[in-house]
Amino acid sequence: MISADSRAVYRWMDIGTAKPSLAERQRLPHHLIDVVDPDEPYTLAVYQRQALAAVAEIIGRGRLPLLVGGAGLYVSAVCDGLAMPDVPPDSSFRDLMAERARIYGIEALQGDLAAVDPESALRIDPRNVRRVIRALEVFHATGTPFSFWQTPSERSPVDCVRIGLRLERQALYARIDRRIDAWISEGFVDEVRGLLERGYSPELPSMSGLGYRQIAQFLRGEIELAEAVARLKQATHLYAKRQMTWFGRDQRIHWLDAATAKPEQVLGLLGTSFG
């Protein structure tokens, strides 16, 4: 199994990324989990290289690679062969853009992006300052719009069968809420506290993931725990909605009902495609 989760690559971030348990990882080899520390830079280009290497290694053992996860760009990087630029983070440029956003508002950065890369400006959520800055950073480093690098290649580097699980929206939101409640019971607050005590700033890209930001606000005394949990649930509902919009446009996906899907259905789809 190859993870396509953009947060599971970070060590010590277990509960809030819903990583497979140690017992599950002992039953089946898992790749691209616990790859870097939370303060280490990790780009989509690096992920693409490592994931394709894992695919080759698994096929070399005579096994079928399973790419599992919900980060749309991570899935596309592997299955569509995006020509991702290997542009490392530029802290000085990011600081400059963050200061510009602080003084003039995120609208200024959106205007900058629209001027050089209108496609990315339309696609990226304007509230996601980190992604807007990343798109500007890539253009700054390469002189080529970020959207160009996210264009699928004419030939995919691997053959992929895309299988998606769908759930009625209210049932999905209820499942999300139960999972978050379970995270709190399992020690998610202590997990975030431990990251902060290790010196990992809430401003790190790794810590901007759902849950870590809200719980860090609670631990800093900015909001109550109940408010942090409520914000996390609402943010996760919105993220799930965006995920379904992203994947819903892909006509290549075979959709199954998550409430009733059985392993035999997945195996049948794989057998039809690769048999």
pTM equals 0.85
pLDDT at 184 over 90: yes
Provide the CATH topology of domain 91-149.
Histone, subunit A (1.10.20)
- Taking alpha carbons only, the member of 236, 255, 249 closest to residue 18 is 236
Contacts of the segment 118-124: beta carbons below 8 A, 24+ positions apart: 119/145, 119/147, 120/145, 120/146, 120/147, 120/150, 123/147
- State the CATH class of domain 169-246: mainly alpha
The tokens describing 162, both together, are 């895309």
The pLDDT value recorded for residue 270 is 84
Could you write out the DSSP letters of every residue in 43-89?
A: -HHHHHHHHHHHHHHHHHTT----EE---HHHHHHHHT---------
pLDDT at 70 over 90: no
DSSP 21: P
Give the alpha-carbon dihedral of 104, 106, 108, 109, to 10 degrees. Answer: 130
Helix/strand/coil for 199 = coil
Query: Mean pLDDT, to the nearest integer, of 159-178?
Result: 96
The pLDDT value recorded for residue 12 is 96
- In this predicted model, what pLDDT tens digit does every residue of 201-228 receive, in sequence order? 998 989 988 999 999 999 999 999 999 9
- In this predicted model, what pLDDT tens digit does every residue of 96-116 receive, in sequence order? 999 999 999 999 999 999 999
- Provide the residue type at 118 as one letter: P
The tokens describing 126, both together, are 């304007």
Taking the domains of the chain in order of start, what are their residue ranges?
Answer: 2-84+155-160, 91-149, 169-246
Q: What percent of the chain has pLDDT over 70?
A: 99
Residues counted in the chain? 275
What is the average pLDDT score of the chain? 92
Pick the CATH number of 2-84+155-160 from 2.40.30.10, 3.40.50.300, 3.30.60.50, 3.20.19.10: 3.40.50.300
- Taking alpha carbons only, the member of 220, 212, 207, 215 closest to residue 38 is 207
